Structure 1
Amino acid sequence: MAERDTRSGPPGTRALWPLLALPGVVWLAVLFVAPLYVVLAILFGGVDPILRQPVPVWNPLAWNFTELGYVWEHIVGDDPFFLPALVRTAVFVGIASALCILIAYPVAYFTARFAGRWKGLLLAALIAPFWISYMMRMLAWVNLLQTDGLVNQLLSGVGLVDVHTAWLNGRASTVVLGLVYGYVPYTILPLYAALDRAPAAMLEAARDLGASRWETFWRVTWPLTRTAVVASLLLTTLPMLGDYFTADLLSGSPSTSMIGNLINNTVLTPGQTGQAGAFVLLILVVSVVPMVIYVRSTRSGEEVAT
């Protein structure tokens, strides 16, 4: 006699699971699917010839691909004036994400493994940036990085650089460090959660079997937290791709503009809203890649666990 699958629960409770999933489905439809369709309707719609305002087209059969073709032509065509901002975005986001991982992993490891009674205080310090708006934190850096700000005063005090160094005058390094500062808390917390859940017995067993500290980390700790690293990269990389405020506030120069700045500028320019929709669609397509990597890593982790 075949054994009944008990994972779905008693027959009377099978309808409970769709009901529990219904709020999440509605939330996703209202806050993601519907806004995305609005963006597509604007992208493939038209422009009012007098007011220069977007005229969305809701019928997919009547969509016009002129704006998408224009943006694509100016990315890969003979006059690719959109391409530098896209390449700059990839470089800035890649460097900033790598720096976030390099900073966040040791902090999360120390907090989870060695903080002891100070763990609560350190966690409060890690969560504290979320209590302050991103804009206020960036404005604080503007004050620090001005030519007469505290950073120049400290550096000139030890004789490293001139006190009049213009950190806010179109420096790529300033934008990258601003991205790191703004998003590194999002990297630390998932890593801390994974490291804190890692069973200490496995680490002790590895040491008892003769593994060094490095071998224990590489063979035990790293595989257990690899999925959390991918999740942390998702939490930082995806917002960075659309970030425009950091470059505007810490640089304000076209030489450091990112794709988020292109979106912001085209939205504010009459008649170019469709181009902004094309850039949003491009970010969405690029974002699918790390999402697929994350899904594959979680599936491989589940296969190893079973």
Structure 2
Amino acid sequence: MAAPGIFWLAAFFIFPLYVVLCIVFGQIDPLFRTPIPVWNPLQWDPTQFNYVLTHIVGENGVYGPAILRTFIYVFVASCLCLLIAFPVSYYVARLSGKRKGLLLALLIAPFWISYMMRMFAWVNLLQDDGLFNKVLSFGGLLHPDVKWLTGQPAVVVLGLAYGYVPYMILPLYAGLDRLSQPMLEASRDLGAARLSSFWRVTLPLCRPTIVAAVLLTCLPMLGDYFTSDMLSASPKTTMVGNLINDSVQSPGQTGQAGAFVMLVFIAALIPMLYYIRVTSRPDEVST
């Protein structure tokens, strides 16, 4: 019965990952500057991977700031998403009553709109003569000279939070909606106040859901390049996704792009292992 899942994992995860490795440790055509994958691991050449590693830190650390910036942006944006998504999900799942279906449809609505179009909307709002600067001018009384689209880190972080917060709301809603109502009522019957019941019962029960929601949100953020391009287009806000995109489009640097992909994969593997550990704890307790 596990055969379909194993086939799916091998076809759409293990094999593509192996192809990336073959390109990273492969060769480059000297004439056309195209990648030549090397399928035999015994013949792999680590030159391109070592080049990326040696240019992260030290005197030649040109990639280090973008990598560090990516993790900072993703961390801050994920925290903003959690602060926004958890109250919304909690209200829809536990307190909305008959309006749950309508509110859930409204939460899903952003997925019907292209991510590119939503970012274009932010560009129109934040451009020099956009609505945001018009509001700050108080009807022409002031003349704010704020260039929002010229390398502002806060704008990129807010764009990431805006673009990916739906990915956090839906998992949180699903987890909160499945909470054991008798257990929550038992805490209140035993004398726990509403805030104490939430802190000592609801929140611990939601921990695996929160970890899963954060993972589903931050993992695509790590490879995002479109948000920075649209809302900044400045080297001051370059992320790992921009390095990957630029390397893919540059002749002879496809292997370096694969090296960045592998670094992102390794960084993402750590929280995924933590999620596996968190979700396995109830099974350990029950046994």
> What band does the TM-score fall into relative to the shorter chain?
over 0.9
Give the AA of the match of 1:22.
A
Counterparts of 2:114 and 2:69 in 1: how far apart (Å)?
A: 26
**Structure 1 equivalent of residue 278 of structure 2:** 297
Aligned to 1:11: none
Matched residue count: 287
d(CA) in 1 for partners of 2:175 and 2:217?
17
Residues 166-222 of structure 1: CA distance to partner in whole angstroms, max 9, x if unpaired? 111110000000000111011111111111111222222212211111110111101
Q: How does 1:76-225 map to 2 (within 5 A)?
A: 76-157=57-138, 162-225=143-206
* C-alpha distance 228-54 of structure 1, shift in aligned 2 (>3 A): same
TM-score with structure 2 setting the length:
0.96
Q: Deviations over 1:3-25 (max 9, x none)?
A: xxxxxxxxxxxxxx2xxx22222
Relative to structure 1, the CA distance from residue 228 to residue 156 in structure 2 (aligned partners, 3 Å threshold; closer, same or farther) is same
Distance 1:285 1:159, change over 3 A: farther
User: Contact between 1:167 and 1:174, CA under 8 Å: does it hold in 2?
Assistant: yes
Candidates 28, 36, 41, aligned match of 2:9: 28
Task: Give the structure 1 partner of residue 29 of structure 2.
Answer: 48
Provide the secondary structure at the position in 1 that maps to 2:30: coil
Q: Which secondary structure does the structure 2 equivalent of 1:80 belong to?
A: coil
Distance 1:253 1:205 in 2: 54
Q: 1:305 to 1:67 in 2, by over 3 A?
A: same
- Cα pair distance change 1:161/1:286, threshold 3 Å: farther
**Native 8 Å contact 1:148 1:164 kept in 2:** no
Tell me, in whole angstroms, the C-alpha distance in 2 between the residues paired with 1:153 and 1:113.
Answer: 39
Q: Hey, what's the Cα distance between the residues in 1 that align with 2:231 and 2:251?
A: 26
- Secondary structure of the residue that 1:76 maps to in structure 2? coil
Aligned partner letter, 1:92: Y
CA–CA distance in 2 between the matches of 1:130 and 1:185?
8
Aligned to 1:285: 266
Q: Give the CA deviation at 1:160.
A: 11
The answer on whether the counterparts of 1:148 and 1:163 sit within 8 Å (CA) in structure 2 is no
Q: CA deviation at 1:30?
A: 1.6
| 1:56 to partner: Cα distance | 1.0
What's the secondary structure of 2:147's corresponding residue?
Answer: coil
Are the counterparts in 1 of residues 134 and 140 from structure 2 also a CA contact under 8 Å? no
Deviation of 1:77 after TM superposition, in Å, equals: 3.2
Conserved in 1, the CA contact under 8 Å of 2:155 and 2:231?
yes
| From 237, 252, 264, the counterpart of 1:271 | 252
Letter in 2 for 1:227: P
Bigger Rg over Cα: 1
Q: What TM-score, normalized by structure 1, do the two folds share?
A: 0.90
Structure 2 gap segments, 5+ residues each: none
Q: Which amino acid aligns with 1:93?
A: V
